[in-house]
């Protein structure tokens, strides 16, 4: 009988070796209206490409800060969908509506107490009659207030950072939010609600610097005056030891070290 060979799932020596050039960068978006910051999207890299022509400085630290300086060097983008703005707008509308309903309940109760006191003062025992009209009005307003409270609770439970709403290519149509967020009761406010479009700030960081950081200075750029690619012959000053912690999303590494120093071992110019 032929024995079936079992697949070898053991990790080889080469699989266990980590590429020293492997690093992770990330980017996030901050809404300019509600200031909501989306989760960081990470991307692997083997080297960093830094444009030289667009930066007036000659220091390597300034080139890094321009690309990975976080929100201090954030790029402004327009027409970005923000579900957090839509949720906050709807919450404000419901809170104003709830305030009006609460004021209406208080007004009806005051009128009922005043009418009851007036009836008590009248002769003939008219004050013993029951005013069913005001009772029905208060019951209806109380149900409306409870409905609004449930809708507010449902809206506040929504996480705006989801794959569906975080997609920049999304058309913004959200006709099935109740099923998507698993909210099936008292969710009339979600019907037809879609993300709002607004301006935002896009920031980039280093998530995990590699053991060996490879930096490429992009000297060639398109010159509109000459209508051709030109090379920027600019002197670049770089330190022998570079602290990249100021360009990282997390100021300390996994070992709790605040300084992430990188030594400059080699420079290639072409």
Give the tokens for residue 41: 């999207």
What is the value of pTM for the model shown?
A: 0.67
Q: What is the pLDDT of residue 172?
A: 42
Q: Could you report the per-residue pLDDT of 64-98, keeping only the tens digit for each? A: 888 888 888 888 999 999 999 999 999 999 999 99
The helix/strand/coil state of 104 is: helix
Q: How many CB atoms lie within 10 A of CB 198?
A: 16
Q: How many CB atoms lie within 10 A of CB 85?
A: 20
DSSP state letters, 31-90: ETTT--BPPPEEEEES-EEEESTT----BHHHHHHHHH-GGGGPEEEEEEEEHHHHHHHH
Give the tokens for residue 52: 């030289």
- At residue 167 the predicted structure's pLDDT band, cuts being 50, 70 and 90, is very low
């Amino acid at each position: 009988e032929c024995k079936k060979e079992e697949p070898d799932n053991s990790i080889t020596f080469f699989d266990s070796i980590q590429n020293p050039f492997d690093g992770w960068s990330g980017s996030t978006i901050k809404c300019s209206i509600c200031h909501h910051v989306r989760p960081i999207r990470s991307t692997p890299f083997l080297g960093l490409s830094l444009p030289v022509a667009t930066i007036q400085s000659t220091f390597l630290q300034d080139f890094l800060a321009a690309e990975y300086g976080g929100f201090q060097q954030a790029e402004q983008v327009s027409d970005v969908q923000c579900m957090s703005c839509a949720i906050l707008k709807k919450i404000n509308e419901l809170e104003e509506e709830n305030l009006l309903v609460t004021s209406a309940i208080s007004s009806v109760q005051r009128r009922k107490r005043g009418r009851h006191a007036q009836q008590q003062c009248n002769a003939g025992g008219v004050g013993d009659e029951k005013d069913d009209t005001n009772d029905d009005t208060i019951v209806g307003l109380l149900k409306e207030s409870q409905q609004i409270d449930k809708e507010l609770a449902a809206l506040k439970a929504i996480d705006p950072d989801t794959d569906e709403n975080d997609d920049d290519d999304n058309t913004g149509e959200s006709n099935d939010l109740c099923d998507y967020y698993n909210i099936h009761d008292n969710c009339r406010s979600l019907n037809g609600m879609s993300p709002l479009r607004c301006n935002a700030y896009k920031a980039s960081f280093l998530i995990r610097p590699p053991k060996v950081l490879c930096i490429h200075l992009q000297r060639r750029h398109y010159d509109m005056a000459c209508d051709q690619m030109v090379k920027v012959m600019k002197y670049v000053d770089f330190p022998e030891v570079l602290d990249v912690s100021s360009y990282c999303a997390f100021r300390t590494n996994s070992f709790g070290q605040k300084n992430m120093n990188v030594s400059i071992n080699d420079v290639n110019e072409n």
